[in-house]
Every structure is written in structure tokens, then in C-alpha cells.
Structure 1
């Protein structure tokens, strides 16, 4: 009996030691969690900063670049990537409804603000009656432009305006302004010929403008439909590692990095998901 007691005791000790070694081995191995994030090229400098921070949290972020605005959501739904971060909530809501995708925002990131620019006037209030204003002609761009002009106090739109632009949707035009639909990429070039032009953020930056300095009126963080998001598959939205990535993105050092890298042309916008309808 003593012999068997000794053997059983020895086995118990060995088992305890092995269990301890196994636990220490897992911790010491520093095994990383890999997360694939789909982007358009313009967001890469931001995510390189997040990638660097995530490395310290044992999260290996792989950046996957796409050249269009369709594939990142399809790739996410198909499981080819784990997250994406390239789109406004307005675009996202429309896309997942149209394609019947079970995706969900998990965090907000930036606004790339659209602005009203003018070579003749320093304030939208100074634009005279009967003036011409250029607006981007594409439906979603025009809708955003009209909402901006409404916010600026120049026009009125229906309460149920769905964001898809059409000039005949304008209900109130107290200054009898004329609107000239222009291909978005051309909106800076017509500035000498109009009182003002509504220009997308990326187009304005390419034309040499600093939006927050040069626009006579500009979107701010209250432009909720145009806040950009990080999205995940709905059944993984609460995954701890994804929530940690959102947390890392929404820290002050990343906000500072965005402002510096993009010369204040992008606005870091970290708001609760309820504020964007989620």
C-alpha cells in the first residue's frame, strides 16, 4: 500500500508540474491573434499607427487594401477579412440593405468633411441673390451637398429627404440660387465661374485646399450620416479582440496622428454607435 501511495503521489506531483509548465508555456509563447482589416489606400497611414499599437497587445493586424467600394463589404461577409474601415455609415446602411448582408458597425473613426468653397466670398451669408453654386452631380454626392447647403442656411429640404440628390427636391430657395451639377472631380475647376462650389474632401485636398482652413462652410462631427465606421460580421461584433482594436483606434494619440498626417483635412470622430443609428 505504501508503494502504491508513493506512486500515486509521484504521479500527482508530475501532473501538477506539467500543468504548470503548459500554462507558463502558453503565456511565454506570446501567441498573437491575427485580424485582417480591409481598407482603401487612403486609410493606410492611420491603420499603420493602430497596427503598431495593437502589436503591443499581442494583436497582429494585417492590412488588406481594396481598389473599390464594393469588395471590402463582400469580402467581410464572405469571411475573407475580419473587419473593414473605409465607408460612411450612410453608404454602409444602403449597401447592406441592398445586398442583404449581416454586418454591423463596431466603432466610429473619422469624417472626411465636404465643404463649400469660394474665391469671391469669405462667408456663405455673403453669397448674393441669384448666384450660381456648383454641386457634384452624382446622386449621393449631390444629396450630401444639398444637406450641407441646408445646414448653411441657403436652402430648405423636405423633412423626409433620404439623402439622394436631385435639384427638384429643394423646397425653399430664398436667394433664388442657381445650381450647376458638375462631375465631383471637376468642382474645384469651376470656382472662377461660380459664387461657390461644394467640393468633396478628397477632391479638395487633391486641389491643394486645407478644408478646415479654406472652406467658407464645412461639415463637422454633427454630420452623422457621413461618419466613417469600422464594421464586422454581426455575429462577431462583440468579439473582445475587435473591441480592443476599436479602443486603440479611438485613443487620443491616434486622433493626433490623423490630424497631423492629413493636415487637419480629416476630423477624428469617436461617438457612440447609438448616435449613428446603431
Structure 2
């Protein structure tokens, strides 16, 4: 029995030492000369590459790791395999933290991939008739986002306490009596001809050959709550190396690249 007790004591002691080691690692300041940044492939990766060039002029090396989904960059960040990531808006981050028990925080605005409202039948939203049909993304985040655009432009009114996560059941004023038809977001470009107007995410619009700036009849503004952020673990929120990267990202060089490369389909949003 004494031998078993000693073994258990050793296990407990080892566990305590390991826990202390993890805690000290979590509180440790980041490398002053290098950060590992996670992004999703596409515009976020392209822009991060330009920000890395700017950061290099200030003596900061940026290693970029690209991901093909939206969960892994946050998982890798929370587990310490990344120092920061850049790809998500705050509503998504809040939901991830709640679902996974993590403490990831936004530290600097980056870009907005503006959702657009499109129509093959009408040249402006004002032209839509009474009872017009509207294709609405059927997932909660994008459905709410589309409703927010319509409210911002004065076409509907959402209940005051439901503005951040509104559904069609939270509309209290609908002067045009718009009929909302919930559709899978990725399929809406193919179904645009079947409705009077529809909300389409930028990535799906671009893939379908639709230019948000030129083809939309309404476009999400850059003060949208769906602006993307650079995100870090809570203990690194005020780390000077993180702030150096934020400064590099929010530079005129990066802004110019965004404007020239994306021609309005991606917006620099850090001054909003």
C-alpha cells in the first residue's frame, strides 16, 4: 500500500509541475522578432503576405500558415501553435469562444468582405415591387448579416434587442412586405434568377463571376459588425510584438494593395 501511495504521490506531483509549467508558458511574452500568423487561403493570405513585408522593414519576421477551413486557425491559436490569426469577424469569434471554452480576443481591425444584395430583374432595391421575393442565406450568421444590410438602408426594421442575431421572425417593420426565402448560401448565385433579389457572400459572388462593387444593388458598408480582426490569446492582447504586427497590417502599403488588388470586393476597414 505504501508503494502505491508513493506512485500516486509522484503522479500528482508530476501533474502539478506540468500544470505550473503550462501556466508559465501561457504568460510568457511572445518572441520580439518573430510571429507565426494563421490565415485562410485567398485574400487573407495575400494581404498577410504584404503586411509581412511591411513588418520586415521594422525588424519583425512573420511566418504565415494558411488553412483551408475556419475552425483550425482558432484551434491552433488556442493550443499555442500560432501567435495570432487573421481571418474572422467578431460574431464568429464570440461563437467559437463560447462553444470551445477558449479566450481568444480581437486586437485590430483588418478587412471586410462585403456581402452584397443582387438582382437580375431590378437595377435598385427601391424598384422591388410589393411582396418581392428575397433569397436569404439559411445559416444564422449570414441570414442576420443580410437583414442588417436591409435595415441599415431603411428597407426593414429589426426588433431592438435582436439586432445582433436577427432572424426573419425578428422583423417588426417590412414596408414592402418582402417575402424572405431561406436558401443555402453557396447555392444562391445559381438561384438568383428565381427570386427578385438575394444576399450573396463575396466569396460565392466572386466564384460565380459576380463583382460586388459593380453588380450589387446594395453593398455592406465598412462599419459592419462583420469586419474581420487580427486575433490573439487573451494573455497576449497587449504584447508589443502583436501591436507591431497590427501596425504593419494597418499601414498605407497594405491599404494600397487591397484597393488595387481587389477593386472594391475587399475593403480596408481599420479606420472605421
- Shorter-chain TM-score bucket reads 0.7 to 0.9
TM-score (norm 2): 0.84
Alignment of 1:1-278 (within 5 A): 33-42=33-42, 43-161=44-162, 163-223=164-224, 225-271=225-271
SS in 2 for 1:101: coil
Aligned length: 241
TM-score (norm 1): 0.82
TM-fit CA distance, 1:165: 4.8
SS in 1 for 2:110: strand
1:28 paired residue number:
none
Q: CA RMSD in A?
A: 1.7
Conservation of the 8 A alpha-carbon contact between 1:138 and 1:165? no
Moved over 6 A (4+): none
Conservation of the 8 A alpha-carbon contact between 1:140 and 1:163? no
Conservation of the 8 A alpha-carbon contact between 2:54 and 2:253? no
SS in 2 for 1:48: helix
Paired with 2:79 and 2:117, the residues of 1 have a C-alpha distance of 39
TM-fit CA distance, 1:73: 1.3
Paired with 2:155 and 2:236, the residues of 1 have a C-alpha distance of 44
Provide structure 1 residue ranges, at least 5 long, that are not aligned to the other structure. 1-30, 273-278
Paired with 2:203 and 2:166, the residues of 1 have a C-alpha distance of 19
Conservation of the 8 A alpha-carbon contact between 2:110 and 2:228? yes
Larger Rg: 1
TM-fit CA distance, 1:32: 7.7
TM-fit CA distance, 1:205: 1.2
Provide structure 2 residue ranges, at least 5 long, that are not aligned to the other structure. 1-30
